[in-house]
Amino acid sequence: MSFPVPLNAYSRLENLRAMWSWLLLWTVVALLAIFSHGPMPLYSTRTLAVAWEMFNQGHWLVPYINGEPYSEKAPLLFWLIQSGWFVFGVNDIWPRVLEVLFGATQLVLVSTLAQRLFPNRPWMAKAAPWMLLALGYAFLFGLQIMYDVLLAVWTLAALLCLTPKTRRAEPRWLLFGICIGLGLLTKGPVMLLHVVFPWLLGPLWNDWARQHQLRWYGRGVLSLLLGAVMLLAWALPAGFAGGEAYRQRLFFTQTAGRVVDALSKGKDLQNHAQPVWWYLLWLPALLFPFSGWPRAPVAVAATLLQRPWERGIKPALWLSLLALVGLLVLAMIPGASPWLAKLLVCLLLVPLSVALLRRPLEPGMRFALCWLLPGFFVFSLISGKQLYYLLPELAGAVLLIAGCIAVLRERHPVLASHGWLGTWPLGVGGIVFALLLFAMPPLVASHLLTGEWASDAAPYSRYFSVVFLLLGGLLLLRGRGELRRLAFAGLIGVLSLNTLFTLALWKNYDIRPAARLLGAVEQAHRPIGYLGNYAGEFHFAGRLTQPITELYGDQALLDFARDHPDAVVVTHPDALDPDDLRYALLVQPFRSSWLAVWPAQSLADLREGHTPPEPSRATQVYPADDRRYRLQP
């Protein structure tokens, strides 16, 4: 006897069957990539340093780094890392597994979001996660133990709460508020910028919001207040526990200094100030490989700019085009007025937003536009900029591009299958890159191709040239499955680049030799100093429990050496000289420069023009066979 399967259970089974391919592929590739090398300085090592110091010192309420309260971030990610350490012990495996879990959750959420927003287009729920996993920058940044991947999870979860279900059109306001609160506890008030615009513009894309505007905005405000209460439940006691300076930075300076560059002057803040047009310049890199797939921009243009045009749209589009040209010209002028740049960005995005939001588009694409356009505009005006600040919005970009491709297939089947709009430019690019990798060894040997990175990659480049040759050939194929071929090639290509980086260049980022030495120094109860700004890169790897003293200038070094004659000092020289290789305890490459660990007194003697005593043992060099040591004077 057979029993009928309930409809809901059947739908869930179908959803699981649809997701296993992309979810399994992405998880395997992400695990291979994230465990191919250790935590990356300075992003991952700083996060681990804060979590380690909180765990080791018992600071659950206030994050600490190098003995000082750390006001730059809220504590949720640190709490999650420490919760795993309580179960598994202190290690760097659990934090990396967490990041993979966060990335996999993003893919599931974007698939569910596509299913809700495009209920009549089941292809969208399958295409959106494939497109998101193909984004090269998002994948590589997802290998960092950082806050933004978790923030993207809460952003997608919060926006999912606003979307209608089959049996319930009203948003889940309580869950909406909780997700906002968790996002605030992940990275602070910036969470609001990622979710507030789809809510504020709800009547433009949501039928229930249009019919019940009072309840939409009233309950939405209550949800925002719930999120704020969750943040304040931590921030208020943390502010009082951390002291006056920490409280000032936490509640005002840390956030305001990123928004307005002038407020960060002289306050030692991570401002990352960039010009207003900076995100526009990097948009193709954020959206690669889809920025190199002709069908994607053609689909977006054909869908968003199709006729009939409402009155006023033509002038808005012309104004936006002229503003874009003006920005391109302004970007090439050194010392151009930042206020003129902001005005041009306003003229570019505001008329374009008004024009596009008046288009007769389906709700899912209007949702994506309500999310992307005002968010991109505000993030462009904010002084502090990093590419990963826009990480949550990449899911919205994927939804928009996928929706436009679906419309192109429906309304313009010729364009949807035209060979010249296929993935051939990326295929040709992959083959050209493969040829370059194949030719790299003789080019390096003949000094036609110079540079440290090329020299380090040359011994491995021909193996990877085969991979990119195959991927290029895959992208030259035509026919069904074009999107999945592109996503697969993009994902495997990024994995290959990450593997090549690990084999050839990871030694320039592996700080474990210096960290182990510093750990032994601390065990011997000897103080440690650092010339310049210390970003916590050694604390977790060396399991340090005491602060490292930051030293600025020769006089601070001399005073430190006089007060602590048995101390060691870490320096970060751009190039080595014979004294580094003679008197330092350890020398190793670090990124594009060097790290050297010195006896404090020997370094102080050299800075005063004296000859230090001859060391009792030779300087440790890492890696021992690195050719660059032979090139030093």
The model's pLDDT over 211-226, given as tens digits with 9 standing for 90+, comes to 999 999 999 999 999 9
pLDDT band at 559 (very low <50, low <70, confident <90, very high): very high
Neighbour count for residue 170 (Cβ, 10 Å): 15
Which tens digits make up the pLDDT trace of 443-470? 999 988 888 888 999 999 999 999 999 9
- pLDDT over threshold 50, residue 19: yes
Pick from 69, 66, 86, 92: nearest CA to 522: 66
Read off the pLDDT of residues 382-439 as tens digits, 9 standing for 90 and up. 988 999 999 999 999 999 999 999 999 999 899 988 889 999 999 999 999 999 999 9
**33 neighbors 502 (Cβ within 8 angstroms):** no
Handedness of CA 386, 494, 405, 432 (dihedral sign): positive
- Number of residues that make up the chain: 633
Q: Is 7's pLDDT higher than 50?
A: no
pLDDT at residue number 357:
84
The pLDDT score that the predictor gives to residue 31 is: 97
The structure's pTM equals: 0.92
- What is the average pLDDT across 598-613? 94
Distance between CA 122 and CA 114 in Å, rounded?
A: 8
The predicted structure's pLDDT at residue 626: 64
Phi, psi for 291 (deg, rounded to 5): -70, -20
Three-state SS at 596:
strand
Position 265 pLDDT exceeds 90: no
